[in-house]
């Protein structure tokens, strides 16, 4: 994982806690966040696959990438949860970085942003 501002990881952790209904410790590391999310994904995939698919759609996660991870896991017997968790975390980080990069603070109100 490339070096990124701690603020971005903390935002991603807060977002993960809210959207995946998990408890995230303060000042979490990327690895621990991935592990916690992987545990939640295992539960979702095994108990509520429909909700798992809904979340992937809502998060704009590429279906092709998830299928590749699941197919590889099935073929090799590997754990698919951490790779999917990493995919979700990376996607959320991309969104946060994009928002920060293209943020327009100089406009007076929301109407003029359009």
Q: What is the mean pLDDT of residues 62-84?
A: 94
pLDDT at 3 (0 to 100) = 66
pLDDT at 70 (0 to 100) = 92
pLDDT of 106 > 70? The answer is no
pLDDT at 63 (0 to 100) = 87
pTM to 2 decimals? Answer: 0.83
pLDDT at 15 (0 to 100) = 94
Mean of the per-residue pLDDT values of the chain: 89
Q: What percent of the chain has pLDDT over 90?
A: 75
The total number of structural domains in the chain stands at 1
pLDDT of 110 > 70? The answer is no
| Residue 40 within a domain | yes
**Domain encompassing residue 49:** 6-100
CB 41 within 8 A of CB 87: no
d(CA 43, CA 20): 11
Q: Is 9 left (phi over 0), alpha (psi -120 to 50) or beta?
A: alpha
| Residue 84 within a domain | yes
Task: Report the largest interatomic distance among the alpha carbons of the chain, rounded to a whole angstrom.
Answer: 55
Q: What is the dihedral of CA 59, 91, 29, 43, to 10 degrees?
A: 40
| Residue 37 within a domain | yes
pLDDT at 5 (0 to 100) = 80
Measured CA to CA in angstroms, residue 39 lies from 9, 19, 43, 85, 103 at distances of 18, 14, 7, 9, 33
pLDDT of 112 > 80? The answer is no
């Amino acid at each position: 994982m490339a070096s990124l501002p701690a603020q971005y990881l903390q935002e991603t952790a807060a977002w993960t806690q809210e959207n995946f209904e998990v408890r995230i410790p303060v000042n979490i590391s990327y690895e621990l966040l991935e592990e916690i999310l992987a545990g939640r994904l295992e539960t979702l995939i095994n108990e509520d696959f429909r909700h798992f698919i809904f979340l992937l759609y809502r998060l704009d996660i590429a279906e092709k990438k998830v299928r590749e991870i699941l197919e590889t896991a099935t073929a090799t017997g590997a754990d698919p949860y951490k790779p999917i968790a990493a995919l979700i975390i990376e996607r959320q980080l991309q969104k946060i970085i994009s928002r920060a990069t293209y943020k327009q603070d100089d406009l007076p109100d929301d109407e003029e942003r359009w």
